[in-house]
C-alpha cells in the first residue's frame, strides 16, 4: 500500500515541489537561506538532473556539458540585449540554441564510445571555452563576460514602449523581477518542471531502453534497436537541460562568462552526479546541493565564526576543535571537497543516495520489514 503510494508520480511530485518550495525555510539552520545560494541550488540541480539523463541512463560520460551551460547563458544575455528583458524568450532561445549545439556535438561525439567519447566532448567544450575567452570576444566579451549595456537595442521592449529609467534595466518575468527570492521561485518552478520531465523519462519505455543501452548496447542492436538516435536524443535532452540552466543563470544574474564552459565546470557536474548517485532521480540534485554548499558556505567560514559555532564546548576543547576545523574551511574548502569525494567513493560507492538507501534499509530492518530494495526505479513501475 505504502509502497504504491510512494511510487506514484503525483505523490512524488507533490512531495518534491513542497520540499523545493520550502527550501528557504529548511535551509535556514545550515545558513544557506539566502537568495543567491538557493538560486544556485535550483539551477545547478537542473543541470545535474539533465546530465543524469545522459550519464545515468546511457552510461555515456560527457566531459563537455559545461559548453551547453555557457552557450545557454550567452544566448540568454544576447536575448536581453537585443530583444527584451523578459526572461521567457531568453530561456526558450537558450534551450533551443544549446539544443542545436548539442545536436552537432552529440552527432559527432557519439560516433565513438567509452573514453573516446568523453575526450571528444571535452575537446569540443575546451575549444568553445578557448575561443570564447579570446577570438570570439566580440560575441562573448572575453574574460570580463558578456554584460548588459544601457544602450542595448532591446527591440521588443522598445516596441512596447518600456521606459528604462536610469541605470541598467533588470530581467523580469512579465514584471516580476528575477533577482532575490522571486528569482529563486522562478528557478524552483523550472526545477520542478525539469524534475518532472526527468521522472517521466525515467519511467517511460524510452528511459528503459536507454538503461538497456547502458547495460548492453550490442544486445540492443541485435534486439532491433538503432541505438544511435536514442543516444543522440538523450544527449540533446541533457544539452537542453544544461542550456536551460545556463539561461536561468543569465536570467537571474545577466552576465555570461567564458569560464562557465571550462573543463572544470564540466567536471563539476560529473562530480555532482557521481557524488549524489548516478542513475538515481534525486541523487544528482543532492550532489549539486552539497558541492554548491561547500563552495559558498565553507569557503566563507573563518576562525571567528568557527569559535562562535563551537562556543558550546569547554574552552580547551573549543580551541582544539576550532584549530582543526579551521584547516577545512575558508581557503581550505577545496581540501574538504577532495576529502568528501574520496570518503563518498570509498564508503558509499553508489553516492549519497546509497547512504540514504542504507539508512532506509536499516530503519526498515528494525521494524522487521526488510525488503529487497534496488536502485533501479523502473521495475516497481512495471508491476
| Interactions with another protein, residue window 195-224 (CB under 8 A) | 197, 200-201, 203-209, 211-212, 214-224
Cα separation values, 310 from 304, 315, 324, 329, Å: 10, 9, 12, 14
18 binds another protein (CB under 8 A): no
Cβ proximity of 242 and 47 under 8 Å: yes
Binds another protein by CB under 8 A, chosen from 12, 122, 285, 356: 122
Restricted to residues 94-113, the positions that interact with another protein (CB under 8 A) are 108, 111-113
- For residue 269, the number of C-alpha atoms closer than 13 Å in the C-beta half-sphere is 36
**CA 296, chain centre distance (Å):** 16
Closest CA to 120 of 128, 108, 130, 129: 108
CB nearer another protein, residue 144 or residue 317: 144
Binds another protein by CB under 8 A, chosen from 96, 103, 225, 357: 225
Number of residues that bind another protein (CB under 8 A): 136
382 binds another protein (CB under 8 A): yes
Closest CA to 185 of 347, 360, 24: 24
- Report the SS3 class of residue 179: coil
Minimum CB distance to another protein, residue 252 (Å): 10
Cα separation values, 318 from 298, 323, 331, Å: 18, 8, 21
Binds another protein by CB under 8 A, chosen from 2, 30, 163, 366: 163
Restricted to residues 171-190, the positions that interact with another protein (CB under 8 A) are 172, 174-177, 179-182, 185
332 binds another protein (CB under 8 A): yes
| Paired sense of beta strands 172-173 and 146-147, if any | unpaired
The contact pattern for another protein, residues 67-86, with x = CB under 8 A and - = no contact, is ------------------xx
Please measure the distance between the N-terminal and C-terminal CA atoms of the chain and give it in whole angstroms.
13
Restricted to residues 234-293, the positions that interact with another protein (CB under 8 A) are 237, 249, 253, 255, 257, 259-260, 263, 267, 270-271, 274-275, 278
- Greatest distance between any 2 Cα atoms in the chain: 70
166 binds another protein (CB under 8 A): yes
361 binds another protein (CB under 8 A): no
Quote the CA–CA distance of 276 and 288 in Å, as a whole number: 8
Quote the CA–CA distance of 59 and 114 in Å, as a whole number: 9
Minimum CB distance to another protein, residue 106 (Å): 13
338 binds another protein (CB under 8 A): yes
The contact pattern for another protein, residues 28-67, with x = CB under 8 A and - = no contact, is x--x-xxxxx--x--------------x---x-x------
Contacting range for another protein; rule: CB under 8 A; set: 74-82, 94-102, 117-125, 310-318: 117-125
Minimum CB distance to another protein, residue 238 (Å): 12
Closest CA to 35 of 180, 172, 170: 180
325 binds another protein (CB under 8 A): no
Restricted to residues 134-153, the positions that interact with another protein (CB under 8 A) are 134-137, 142-145, 147, 150
Instruction: Pull the grid cell for residue 169.
Output: 534595466
Closest CA to 12 of 20, 351, 369, 240: 20
Amino acid at each position: 500500500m505504502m509502497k504504491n503510494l510512494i511510487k506514484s508520480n503525483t505523490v512524488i511530485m507533490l512531495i518534491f515541489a513542497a520540499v523545493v518550495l520550502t527550501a528557504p525555510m529548511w535551509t535556514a539552520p545550515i545558513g544557506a537561506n539566502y537568495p543567491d545560494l538557493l538560486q544556485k541550488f535550483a539551477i545547478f540541480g537542473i543541470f545535474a538532473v539533465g546530465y543524469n539523463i545522459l550519464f545515468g541512463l546511457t552510461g555515456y560520460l560527457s566531459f563537455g556539458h559545461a559548453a551547453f551551460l555557457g552557450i545557454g547563458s550567452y544566448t540568454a544575455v544576447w536575448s536581453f540585449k537585443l530583444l527584451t528583458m523578459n526572461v521567457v524568450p531568453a530561456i526558450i532561445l537558450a534551450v533551443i540554441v544549446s539544443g542545436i549545439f548539442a545536436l552537432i556535438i552529440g552527432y559527432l561525439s557519439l560516433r565513438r564510445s567509452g573514453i573516446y567519447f568523453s575526450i571528444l566532448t571535452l575537446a569540443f567544450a575546451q575549444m568553445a571555452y578557448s575561443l570564447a575567452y579570446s577570438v570570439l570576444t566580440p560575441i562573448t566579451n572575453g574574460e570580463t563576460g558578456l554584460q548588459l549595456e544601457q544602450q542595448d537595442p532591446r527591440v521588443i521592449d522598445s516596441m512596447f514602449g518600456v521606459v528604462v529609467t536610469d541605470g541598467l534595466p533588470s530581467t523580469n518575468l512579465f514584471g516580476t523581477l528575477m533577482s532575490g527570492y522571486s528569482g529563486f521561485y522562478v528557478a524552483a518552478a523550472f526545477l520542478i518542471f525539469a524534475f518532472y520531465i526527468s521522472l517521466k523519462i525515467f519511467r517511460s519505455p524510452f528511459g528503459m531502453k536507454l538503461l538497456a543501452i547502458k547495460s548492453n548496447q550490442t544486445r540492443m542492436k541485435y534486439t532491433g534497436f538503432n541505438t544511435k538516435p536514442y543516444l543522440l536524443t538523450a544527449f540533446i535532452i541533457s544539452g537542453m537541460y544544461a542550456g536551460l540552466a545556463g539561461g536561468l543563470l543569465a536570467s537571474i544574474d545577466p552576465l555570461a562568462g567564458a569560464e562557465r564552459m571550462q573543463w572544470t565546470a564540466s567536471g563539476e557536474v560529473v562530480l555532482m552526479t557521481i557524488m549524489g548517485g548516478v542513475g538515481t532521480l534525486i541523487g544528482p540534485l543532492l550532489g549539486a546541493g552539497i558541492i554548491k554548499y561547500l563552495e559558498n558556505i565553507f569557503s566563507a567560514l573563518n576562525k571567528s565564526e568557527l569559535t562562535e559555532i563551537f562556543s558550546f564546548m569547554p574552552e580547551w576543547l573549543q580551541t582544539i576543535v576550532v584549530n582543526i576545523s579551521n584547516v577545512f574551511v575558508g581557503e581550505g574548502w577545496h581540501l574538504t571537497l577532495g576529502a568528501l569525494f574520496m570518503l563518498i567513493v570509498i564508503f558509499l560507492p553508489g553516492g549519497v543516495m546509497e547512504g540514504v538507501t542504507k539508512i532506509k534499509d536499516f530503519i526498515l530492518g528494525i521494524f522487521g520489514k526488510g525488503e529487497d530494495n534496488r536502485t533501479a526505479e523502473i521495475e516497481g513501475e512495471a508491476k
